């Protein structure tokens, strides 16, 4: 409690919410590029995925059967409920291991908290993270905390993956089909909620999706023989898609009518309730994207909307797709076919 009997609204303590708090892609690229080549496969032959690949997590080969997956993620509150904040932050952190086709085996808390935040609130954040990590079969074994004016929470996660079963972000091929496992609109409705404009049922639906692990989707993709995937977070569907096709071997053509969005997104979209990160994504990624004329500017912004703990975006061959979709239906895993690769570079939405 900040005052006697006054509930704490965690989102009011956050300058930016969730994955929208990421540094802009342009800034991040400029920061990393000068030293990225210091840690490449030429210098570290067992480093299967490092800075050069701009993938979701680092992967280090131990032997012919095992490779370590290592990642970290943390962010300011995206919801006011402390338990849900912890669970969402943990699900988001674990997602990078799932996006590589791996299984998380151990995690550490990463925490920055204001000194005037009641201990029971911090405890609820930790409990939400711990119970979500347990759901993933991943023990939290320690961590580090510092004092800060703004709450921040997440995990550093170690996982395991077979070196031949990694889901690489850039292994997209001609003839692949694009499948998404969660709807879009997370940043939009999060921002509407922060402005007290989101209907409670709409925000509850968003919270449910953000707390959902990408564990089953990852397992199904690996079982289907897939080797290309990523998770959709702060750089949006179009940002992460751009990273998939950055070598210009193939492009992507999305079908606008096939892309799933959260219920009632249009009422928030038409009010322009996009987070600042959506505008930054537009500025950086729009140069390689074209839209059909009938898709409005507001609708276009939906595909630049930053997601927090978003779904997996998988590129699957014809045989992999059939196996994955059958497995998803049997397991109750959400999956939407939203596009295919094309011969020309760039991304097109029709």
Q: Residue 340 above 70 pLDDT?
A: yes
Mean of the per-residue pLDDT values for the chain? 92
Structural domains of the chain in order of their starting residue, each with its CATH number:
10-161 (3.30.1330.10), 177-349 (3.90.650.10)
- C-alpha to C-alpha distance for 310 and 213, rounded to whole angstroms: 9
pLDDT band with cut points at 50, 70 and 90 for residue 17? low
**288 CA to centre of own chain:** 21
- C-alpha to C-alpha distance for 307 and 87, rounded to whole angstroms: 16
How far from 122 is each of 116, 231, 242, 284, 302, CA to CA, in Å?
A: 11, 28, 37, 36, 33
- Contact (Cβ atoms closer than 8 angstroms) between residue 66 and residue 163: yes
What is the mean predicted confidence (pLDDT) over 14-41? Answer: 64
Confidence at residue 3, expressed as pLDDT on a 0 to 100 scale:
42
Q: Residue 1 above 80 pLDDT?
A: no
What is the mean predicted confidence (pLDDT) over 219-229? Answer: 98
Q: What is the pLDDT of residues 230-253, one digit of tens each?
A: 999 999 999 999 999 999 999 999
Higher pLDDT, 193 or 2: 193
Q: What letter would DSSP give residue 153? A: E
Confidence at residue 4, expressed as pLDDT on a 0 to 100 scale:
45
- C-alpha to C-alpha distance for 141 and 136, rounded to whole angstroms: 14
β-strand partners of 71: 157
Higher pLDDT, 56 or 35: 56
Confidence at residue 36, expressed as pLDDT on a 0 to 100 scale:
61
Confidence at residue 39, expressed as pLDDT on a 0 to 100 scale:
73
Q: Residue 5 above 90 pLDDT?
A: no
Range with lowest mean pLDDT among 36-50, 113-127, 317-331: 36-50
Given the residues 16, 19, 138, 228, select the one marked as catalytic. Answer: 19
* Catalytic status, residue 16: no
Q: How does strand 152-161 pair with strand 140-147? A: unpaired
Percent of the chain with pLDDT over 70: 91
Confidence at residue 26, expressed as pLDDT on a 0 to 100 scale:
63
With CA atoms as reference, report the closest residue to 314 among 99, 157, 115.
Answer: 99
Q: What is the pLDDT of residues 122-140, one digit of tens each?
A: 999 999 999 999 999 999 9
Confidence at residue 2, expressed as pLDDT on a 0 to 100 scale:
41
What is the mean predicted confidence (pLDDT) over 322-336? Answer: 98
Q: What angle do CA 41, 19, 78 make, to 5 degrees?
A: 150
Within the chain, where are the H helices? 25-36, 82-99, 119-135, 186-194, 200-211, 215-223, 236-244, 265-269, 276-285, 297-302, 318-331
Q: Residue 85 above 80 pLDDT?
A: yes
Q: What letter would DSSP give residue 7? A: P
Residue identified by tokens 């690996």 is 222
What is the mean predicted confidence (pLDDT) over 303-330? Answer: 98
Confidence at residue 12, expressed as pLDDT on a 0 to 100 scale:
84
């Amino acid at each position: 409690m900040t005052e006697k009997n006054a509930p704490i609204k965690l989102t009011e303590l956050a300058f930016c919410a969730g994955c929208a708090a990421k540094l802009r892609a342009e800034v991040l690229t400029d920061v990393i590029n000068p030293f990225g080549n210091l840690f490449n496969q030429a210098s570290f032959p067992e480093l299967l995925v490092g800075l050069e690949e701009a993938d979701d997590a680092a992967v280090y080969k131990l032997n012919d059967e095992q490779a370590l997956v290592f990642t970290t993620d943390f962010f300011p509150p995206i919801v006011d409920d402390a338990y849900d904040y912890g669970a969402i932050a943990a699900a988001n952190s674990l997602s990078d291991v799932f996006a590589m086709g791996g299984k998380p085996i151990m995690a550490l808390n990463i925490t920055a908290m204001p000194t005037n935040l009641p201990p029971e609130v911090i405890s609820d954040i930790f409990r939400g993270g711990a119970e979500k990590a347990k759901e993933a079969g991943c023990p939290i074994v320690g961590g580090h905390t510092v004092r800060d004016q703004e709450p921040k929470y997440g995990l550093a996660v170690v996982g395991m993956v077979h070196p031949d079963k990694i889901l690489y972000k850039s292994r997209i091929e001609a003839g692949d089909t694009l499948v998404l496992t969660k709807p879009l609109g997370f940043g939009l409705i999060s921002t509407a909620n922060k402005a007290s404009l989101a209907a409670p049922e709409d925000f509850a639906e968003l919270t449910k999706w953000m707390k959902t692990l990408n564990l089953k989707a990852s397992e199904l993709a690996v079982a289907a023989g897939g080797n290309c995937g990523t998770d959709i977070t702060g750089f949006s569907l179009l940002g992460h898609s751009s990273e998939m096709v950055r070598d210009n071997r193939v492009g992507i053509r999305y079908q606008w009518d096939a892309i799933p969005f959260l219920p009632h997104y249009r009422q928030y979209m038409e009010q322009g309730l996009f987070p600042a990160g959506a505008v930054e994504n537009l500025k950086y990624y729009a140069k390689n994207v074209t839209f059909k004329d009938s898709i409005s500017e507001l609708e276009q912004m939906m595909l630049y909307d930053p997601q927090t703990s978003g779904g997996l975006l998988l590129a699957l061959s014809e045989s992999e797709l059939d196996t994955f979709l059958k497995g998803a239906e049997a397991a109750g895993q959400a999956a939407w076919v939203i596009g295919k690769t094309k011969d020309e570079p760039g991304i097109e939405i029709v």
